[in-house]
Amino acid sequence: MNELLTLDEIDIACMNALMQNPRGSWRELSLACDIPEKKLSRRISKLIDDQIIRTSIELNPIVVNKGFTVHVWMSVKFGKEQQIAQFLAQRPEVRIVFLTTGLADIFLEIGLEKQTQLALWMQDFVAQIPDIHTVETQVVLKPFSWASKPKNHLLNTTTAQKIRHITADERSLIHVLSHDGRISIKSLAEQIGMTEHKTQKLLNDLLQDEVFNIRIDFEPSLLGFNTEAIILVQSRPEHAQHIAQALTASPYTRCLFGMSGEAQFFWHVLCKDQADLWQLTIDELGQLEGIQSYSTNMITNAYKRAGFMRKGLKIQLS
């Protein structure tokens, strides 16, 4: 992507403002980053048109009681990593595809409707792919911090999230937003057949109840995060809440999930460089009481993020 080389300080300032307020008006974003409205609107529109950044919707499966998120770690035949990763990225249920070091060669995040679909997916799809040596699955039990959350968001461990029924109107709104997270209220109201006032209230209620998040998807290197890693953390049960609070509040955190399996936490972090990652694991994790062990898996390439394939050719496996 040659576009990556053209970003300047104004682009970065616009992106930072947009990440903090994905549906902010041009005026609100302009005030947040001190860039004139016309210049800001041109820059952000170009970034979106060139697919440097995207808006996407993340449903909260805990709140809507729908969906089954699974992390899949694959070890594959040497030399086949890129080919298999590109092939997997084409699947609609696959949201994320990374090449990684450490635990495995490939990391996937998949979204299924029901738990029973996992066994079928493994048997009918994964088992048919040649050159896969081992597969390990871990289920996301609790999302503590998503990539769309502000980095100063603190975990509230005293408030339990309740299951929320999603109406037909709400499903329609979410569907439209999934294609354009910055669509105007007027256009959104027209597409779902409601008044602007009711549409705005519907959107506000869904966001307040944390049914979904609107996030800005981007390549971390654009903002100077050149080292990306997944750290799997094992903790003692009595210290789990304290550890979750500390990791959620960390400025390095992109997302934090409570997991099934040996590791209790899936911690996706962004660092400036490898030395920064080393310091993070020594300082942040070394000072937290209750951590039994952790494993660091660096991300060397991203083929898919937030359900969007990175630019590249589609591929068939032979």
Tell me the mean pLDDT per 10 residues along the chain, length 318: 62 90 94 96 90 78 69 97 95 93 94 89 94 95 67 40 77 87 94 96 89 81 89 95 92 92 94 95 90 96 78 45
What pLDDT is stored for residue 43 in this prediction?
A: 93
Enclosing domain of residue 240: 63-150+220-309
The answer to the question of residue 270 being in a domain is yes
What pLDDT is stored for residue 310 in this prediction?
A: 57
The answer to the question of residue 155 being in a domain is no
In whole angstroms, give the CA distance from residue 101 to residue 235: 22
The answer to the question of residue 124 being in a domain is yes
143 and 227 belong to one structural domain: yes
What pLDDT is stored for residue 94 in this prediction?
A: 92
DSSP 289: T
71 and 109 belong to one structural domain: yes
Q: Closest Cα partner for 174 from 158, 161, 192, 154?
A: 192
- Contact yes or no for 240/174 (Cβ under 8 A): no
112 and 246 belong to one structural domain: yes
85 and 143 belong to one structural domain: yes
69 and 144 belong to one structural domain: yes
What pLDDT is stored for residue 5 in this prediction?
A: 47
255 and 189 belong to one structural domain: no
The answer to the question of residue 160 being in a domain is no
CATH code: domain of residue 137: 3.30.70.3460
What pLDDT is stored for residue 120 in this prediction?
A: 93
185 and 256 belong to one structural domain: no
pTM above 0.75, yes or no: yes
The answer to the question of residue 119 being in a domain is yes
In whole angstroms, give the CA distance from residue 293 to residue 288: 11
Radius of gyration of the chain (CA): 20
224 and 115 belong to one structural domain: yes
The answer to the question of residue 316 being in a domain is no
- Contact yes or no for 175/73 (Cβ under 8 A): no
- Contact yes or no for 106/81 (Cβ under 8 A): yes
CATH code: domain of residue 8: 1.10.10
How many domains, in total, are found in the chain? 3
Q: Strand, coil or helix: what is 303? A: strand
What pLDDT is stored for residue 313 in this prediction?
A: 37
96 and 172 belong to one structural domain: no
Last residue of a domain, one of 173, 208, 243: 208
123 and 253 belong to one structural domain: yes
The answer to the question of residue 214 being in a domain is no
15 and 78 belong to one structural domain: no
The answer to the question of residue 58 being in a domain is no
pLDDT in tens, 59-106: 766 565 556 889 999 999 999 999 999 999 999 899 899 999 998 999
119 and 170 belong to one structural domain: no
